[in-house]
Amino acid sequence: MKVTIVGCSGSFPGPDSPASCYLVEAEGFRMLLDFGSGSLGALQRHIGLYDVDAICLSHLHADHCLDICGYHVARTYGPAAPYPRIPVHAPADAPRRLAAAYGMPEEPGLESAFAFSALSPGRFSVGPFEITAGLVNHPVEAYGFRVTHGGVTLAYSGDTGECDELVRLAEGADLLLCEASFLEAPDLTPDLHLTGRQAAAHAAKAEVGRLVLTHLVPWNDSARVLEEAAGGGFDGPIELAAGGAEYSLA
Ligand SMILES: [Zn+2]
Ligand SMILES: [Zn+2]
């Protein structure tokens, strides 16, 4: 399984990275986890514009889903259109919300390009991947994902505050892509996001192989996020996500 960080900026794009988008590949199949603001541009550095086979959206905040709208244009009106519809696994409200974001009536919405399936907690298959979706701790319906292929496992937190379900999803994963949006402070909003220290504490409980801190908010000093993560009790390697970074899991 190959994982490419297309975008890792938290909440909005930064100068060096779009918002959340991760390309996961195996057996020639290409799946996106999230498709946040600006990521459609950077995606084209890694694969062809029409090479996406499936999309999973963790939740419907703009920084995780909004580039579906631009991609609808590409797949509906591109030079060889119509392109095959691709599956999109997303919260149930996605067809309505994304049609509204595009400026389209709900019928037909974005259905010419995408076949939407409503996520619910549990297991499903996407191409060669076995995926487990679990509800995480965020103010809207939001999922984390566990993606397994060929005996290796990637876990992705989506956006979450402290959350036992994230530990379950990540249990024994080779790589945990975990959000670390907040810096430690006495008055942090609960049930919204994690600090680096909290991300590392989840990684330690789940006994993952490697922790990559992501959803890095541009106004934070990311060196401090990494420093705080070092105090979270996780013994394995910890690093900051960076746009364009690739991980080969085997
Ligand atoms: Zn976010
Ligand atoms: Zn969010």
Residue 82 has pLDDT above 90, yes or no: no
pLDDT mean over 213-235: 98
- The answer to whether the CB of 218 falls within 8 A of the CB of 16 is no
Among left, alpha and beta (phi > 0; psi -120 to 50; other), residue 191 is left
**DSSP assignment letter at 28:** T
Residue 247 has pLDDT above 90, yes or no: yes
Burial of 227 from C-beta contacts in 10 A (0-12 / 13-18 / 19+): middle
Distance in angstroms (rounded) separating the CA atoms of residues 62 and 222: 22
- The answer to whether the CB of 177 falls within 8 A of the CB of 160 is no
pLDDT mean over 135-163: 98
Q: Measured in angstroms, how far is the CA atom of residue 215 from the centroid of ligand 2?
A: 10
N-terminal to C-terminal alpha carbon distance within the chain: 7
Residue 148 has pLDDT above 90, yes or no: yes
State the pLDDT at residue 120: 98
Q: How does pLDDT run across 194-215, given as a tens digit for each residue? A: 999 999 999 999 999 999 999 9
Q: Which residues surround ligand 1, an ion (CB under 5 A)?
A: 63, 159
Q: Measured in angstroms, how far is the CA atom of residue 65 from the centroid of ligand 1?
A: 10
Lookup result for tokens 């907040």 = 182
pLDDT mean over 172-201: 98
Alpha-carbon torsion angle 120, 31, 198, 189, nearest 10:
-60
Residue 250 has pLDDT above 90, yes or no: yes
Q: Measured in angstroms, how far is the CA atom of residue 21 from the centroid of ligand 2?
A: 13
Q: How does pLDDT run across 97-117, given as a tens digit for each residue? A: 999 999 999 999 999 999 999
Residue 178 has pLDDT above 90, yes or no: yes
Predicted TM-score of the model (pTM): 0.98
Q: Measured in angstroms, how far is the CA atom of residue 79 from the centroid of ligand 2?
A: 34
Q: Measured in angstroms, how far is the CA atom of residue 197 from the centroid of ligand 1?
A: 18
Q: Which residues surround ligand 2, an ion (CB under 5 A)?
A: 61, 159
Mean pLDDT (the chain, rounded): 98
Ligand nearest to the CA of 217: 1
State the pLDDT at residue 204: 99
State the pLDDT at residue 38: 97
State the pLDDT at residue 99: 98
Residue 96 has a CB neighbour count (10 Å cut-off) of 15
Q: Measured in angstroms, how far is the CA atom of residue 81 from the centroid of ligand 1?
A: 32
Ligand nearest to the CA of 91: 2
Lookup result for tokens 């095959």 = 84
Residue 221 has pLDDT above 90, yes or no: yes
State the pLDDT at residue 10: 98
Q: Which two tokens stand for residue 104?
A: 């389209």
Q: Measured in angstroms, how far is the CA atom of residue 218 from the centroid of ligand 2?
A: 15
State the pLDDT at residue 58: 99
Q: Measured in angstroms, how far is the CA atom of residue 144 from the centroid of ligand 2?
A: 11
> Which stretches of 15-137 are assigned E, i.e. beta strand?
21-26, 29-33, 54-56, 86-90, 114-118, 122-126, 129-135
State the pLDDT at residue 44: 98
* Confidence class for position 95, pLDDT limits 50, 70, 90: very high
Q: Measured in angstroms, how far is the CA atom of residue 103 from the centroid of ligand 2?
A: 22
pLDDT mean over 26-37: 98
